[in-house]
Structure 1
């Protein structure tokens, strides 16, 4: 029966292959290799030795499902069982609900603990969506611009078996061009759809759902690998793997000026917010073509700022994405080009308060804006300069020039920030017997105490809470006196803007195997490796930088990426007189910190 099934699944001509003197039966290596026979043959030829096949009992899972990877997950979950804290007892995921799972199983047979695991999976899937969508948009754009045959790599020092390991592990293919990336991303998107469905309808065990949550993280790494390959191969992102490894002790240079205080006054300011760097790529190319780069300030928070820094070193990275709402209400930008991102904020509302113009570029709409992608560019420019608050334009090539010309044509905006006298006046309404704002604050900031101090001390009393505030607005929702707490916080931010400066390096991209091997000779003198992962928004804005300095200074090989790198860059060693990325180099080695990018 089994042999009949194998014959049905396999073309006899493709079932066997030669590896040295050994004949390999693909049917014994892979449960179902239909459609991936050529991938398997290629992978075995490039990555296997004959002895490996003969000595190891190997199974291959090309384009793996979560259930194909349970062996690895079983080890992790048995050693580190999940702990659920914010318990939700009522399930309303289907038409039969709601079911109170504290009183027993639901009508579908789901118990309380598996329900928590299912919710965990749902959160993981939701967290992946933005990066999946932006990578899809990026890859589609690259295919239109460069074609499916465009070759891709992570850099000259990466061997084919050393690049995009998440893609190779999960799909069984070594990617060489955009066509391969298209196939890998389609696989990841299909996996996310299956996982999302299971997060609403699945009735498995805790292990089943946590296995799927791990798989969700794995396919996210695949998607990030696709994005990195496209950025470096198609859009000229600088990469350490294209440099001689002996250069890495001083490359990339610490030449990115960050912080609001580094924005030159008097110049038009264009800010890019979200995960999509393509509008910035278009705008910067327009500035270069017109010789205008010295006359404009290009700013961005978070991941898009880190992306821009890898092809344009004049960018001002103003902070982390989680704080974007605070920067926007400050009114530092004349034009905001926005796309979907990891943080949710009222871009239209915040921008309108300070008369910043918004150009929305994502495929899905925003706030009821009409889609004006097909409107003539001149008409859009005239409308925005003439008083229109925002437009929705999905053509990123078009958006670049529009943003530049609108920023050029605006005649100045009002100052909507509270004066110190107004802050003191608002602070007098804060009650001594309340502190509901403290209870609502995710960072447990002493908001009421600071506001009451501001009655006499003014803005300086608000600086400690301003640094730890990521502008969620929960304090204002709870305030019985309706004090505009976030306006007070932005006024305090304005006071410290001149001192909000830091220096950082742009991201270097992935670390090739030869550099890892070179570092191995010094690891005996190192405490080990340290990965710092942070989205920012901590209670103390300097915590991440302090940790990075401590670990790196004590001899760790430190890796950092994303908004965590931006927060770390703020750390200033007063004794050395240097910022963190000036103090340590970016080489993958002991007592160095490698910023990998967004």
Structure 2
């Protein structure tokens, strides 16, 4: 791969002036000479460099397709019927089409995390400089960035070094996406090989994002005793102005915390959040509060508790502005990837933006300067809170009962529900004045509100469920350990032998979005069961939050019961979604430290 900068190495240079030996000149970047034999066979691999290995895997583990759609609509020839052995106008069959759709989905995910990393790294370089060192654990973590080393064959030492890695990742996403164009790749097996490549670069992109923010924002650095922080709707002090942050990219939330602290306002305003921004802001300041995972957006907004809503990127409901308007809460969009149709106020004076938001002249604003977001969000929350008086979009008990009487029992809500919840039966009971069955649906409701969209009567069914479970909401007060980030090298050395010898049965990771069929409590139950069986249990993102939403008989959450070390019988929260590579990185470190495998550019092995 072409590299930035110029490096000249001269063994011996003779001139009339004298003789120069072993002269090296570098322009643009510092070149670190690798040790002999240190670099593996595939530094910065292209989309075909690992293809032979992929094909071996795919020959052994053959893909099986269960199409959710029988047609292809991706080009101007479509719609093409691909049922049976039919091929589309471009010649692609059903297996090829299904694997192409999977590649598209994986490219979306990879591009999202890589773009997240790019925005974050650019912001941190602007704030802290290119030479700011990468430090995810001091002397406790000498093998930092194991995924980046394994894939790219480089060891990033500064924020500036991460830019070259991102250049590579962005080029790979472009090549992968181009393969999905009509008339490009025709083999489902080669599509699947490219899916593997997308997953690999996705891991690198996430690692770049997390090691950058750990280093610059001084998040917990491989700390098994990272602080316990509050989580749950019940932890929010609604008597104060409340700011709600949603998304995945933490700089706007960090600036909100900084503005409060710099102006002596911290403690007067509640900083709360959902999804991974919430996890990361508590890594920055443990006094911030996590409300819950992605599935809790509607219930929290409609509760009326947030006075200002700040959204950055990823996992944000597309109707967040509409929902914010229902409770008369101004919304600030802080990412160019999620503008929500709002006017760009980035370069307007902060006081002018605040005035427009507080007086209702505009329902929201797009502000692409994180520092200005911090100032505007705080000032707006303080001024708008007395006017809103926690206006909510949740009906009272009488409203639920009267609304339920309009239900015709058509079953549309249940057919639309991804968890097949018995909503019609619960609504029928509510019409008689009994809200217990509606309240019982709360734990398994994923908050998608598809039931509301399907209801021909226009009933706010999700809000009915939330109202019926109001007592449970207020009791949701739990603890989660702040994301610790990387695993220490000494921890790997301590568990390597016991894992190989079977004394530690394995490592289990709970990751992913909170859309579980039976609610999040099962995540906590499984995590504790594996910990009791001496597994090393890791969590991240929404799964880490779900694991926290449980109490034993003594009122303790799993993170209070089990230690946070990478060891048998422990439960480890590594952090947000972009912290996932610390989990893969632990496995890579075991191979590198304990099994003495080459770490650099050696992905296939």
Same fold per superposition (TM over 0.5): yes
Name 1:422's counterpart in structure 2: 399
Deviates more, 1:465-474 or 1:96-105: 96-105
Provide, for residues 364-390 of structure 1, a one-character-per-residue CA deviation record: whole Å limited to 9, x for no partner.
453321111111011011111111321
Name 1:26's counterpart in structure 2: none
Describe how 1:57-76 pairs up with structure 2 within 5 A.
Answer: 60-76=41-57
User: Separation in 1 of the partners of 2:294 and 2:8?
Assistant: 54
Report if the CA contact (8 A) 2:110-2:201 is conserved. Answer: no
1:330 and 2:303 matched = yes
Name 2:288's counterpart in structure 1: 315
Provide, for residues 242-283 of structure 1, a one-character-per-residue CA deviation record: whole Å limited to 9, x for no partner.
x5xxxx3xx124x21111111113111011111121111111
User: Separation in 1 of the partners of 2:382 and 2:215?
Assistant: 32
Name 1:220's counterpart in structure 2: 202
Provide, for residues 175-229 of structure 1, a one-character-per-residue CA deviation record: whole Å limited to 9, x for no partner.
1112220010111111112212222333231211111111111111101111111
1:117 and 2:99 matched = yes
CA 1:132–1:342 in 2, change beyond 3 Å: closer, same or farther?
Answer: farther
Report if the CA contact (8 A) 2:440-2:469 is conserved. Answer: no
Name 2:367's counterpart in structure 1: 393
Report if the CA contact (8 A) 1:323-1:537 is conserved. Answer: no
Matched position secondary structure for 2:34: helix
CA 1:283–1:508 in 2, change beyond 3 Å: closer, same or farther?
Answer: same
1:271 and 2:262 matched = no
Matched position secondary structure for 2:49: helix
Report if the CA contact (8 A) 2:299-2:463 is conserved. Answer: no
Q: CA deviation at 1:14?
A: 9.5
Q: CA deviation at 1:36?
A: 14
Name 1:235's counterpart in structure 2: 217
Name 1:534's counterpart in structure 2: 512
Q: CA deviation at 1:521?
A: 4.6
Provide, for residues 264-321 of structure 1, a one-character-per-residue CA deviation record: whole Å limited to 9, x for no partner.
1311101111112111111111111122211111100110111011111111110102
User: Runs of 4+ in structure 1 displaced over 6 angstroms?
Assistant: 11-15, 35-39
Report if the CA contact (8 A) 1:322-1:343 is conserved. Answer: no
Q: CA deviation at 1:460?
A: 2.7
Output the aligned Cα RMSD: 2.4
Which of 366, 373, 377 is the matching residue for 2:346?
373
Name 2:276's counterpart in structure 1: 303
User: Separation in 2 of the partners of 1:138 and 1:570?
Assistant: 30
CA 1:568–1:501 in 2, change beyond 3 Å: closer, same or farther?
Answer: same
CA 1:13–1:553 in 2, change beyond 3 Å: closer, same or farther?
Answer: same
CA 1:208–1:37 in 2, change beyond 3 Å: closer, same or farther?
Answer: farther
Report if the CA contact (8 A) 2:312-2:334 is conserved. Answer: yes
Describe how 1:66-465 pairs up with structure 2 within 5 A.
Answer: 66-102=47-83, 104-157=86-139, 160=142, 162-201=143-182, 202-240=184-222, 248=224, 251-253=225-227, 255-364=228-337, 366-387=339-360, 388-410=362-384, 411-413=386-388, 414-432=391-409, 434-465=410-441
CA 1:231–1:363 in 2, change beyond 3 Å: closer, same or farther?
Answer: same
Report if the CA contact (8 A) 1:548-1:568 is conserved. Answer: yes
Q: CA deviation at 1:344?
A: 3.4
Report if the CA contact (8 A) 1:504-1:581 is conserved. Answer: yes
Name 1:571's counterpart in structure 2: 550
Describe how 1:504-519 pairs up with structure 2 within 5 A.
Answer: 504-519=480-495
CA 1:331–1:454 in 2, change beyond 3 Å: closer, same or farther?
Answer: same
Name 2:34's counterpart in structure 1: 43
Matched position secondary structure for 1:257: strand
Matched position secondary structure for 1:534: coil
Provide, for residues 441-468 of structure 1, a one-character-per-residue CA deviation record: whole Å limited to 9, x for no partner.
1111111111112123443321222222
Q: CA deviation at 1:159?
A: 5.3
Report if the CA contact (8 A) 1:559-1:594 is conserved. Answer: yes
For these two proteins, the number of residue pairs brought into alignment is 546
Name 2:569's counterpart in structure 1: 591
User: Separation in 1 of the partners of 2:153 and 2:430?
Assistant: 61
User: Separation in 2 of the partners of 1:14 and 1:62?
Assistant: 25
User: Separation in 2 of the partners of 1:347 and 1:218?
Assistant: 32
Provide, for residues 31-58 of structure 1, a one-character-per-residue CA deviation record: whole Å limited to 9, x for no partner.
xxxx99997x83344837xxxxxxxxxx
Higher relative contact order, structure no. (Cα contacts within 8 Å, ≥ 6 residues apart) = 2
Provide, for residues 513-546 of structure 1, a one-character-per-residue CA deviation record: whole Å limited to 9, x for no partner.
2211112354433321111123112232311111
Gaps of 5+ in 1: 1-10, 16-34, 49-58
Q: CA deviation at 1:85?
A: 1.9
Name 1:7's counterpart in structure 2: none
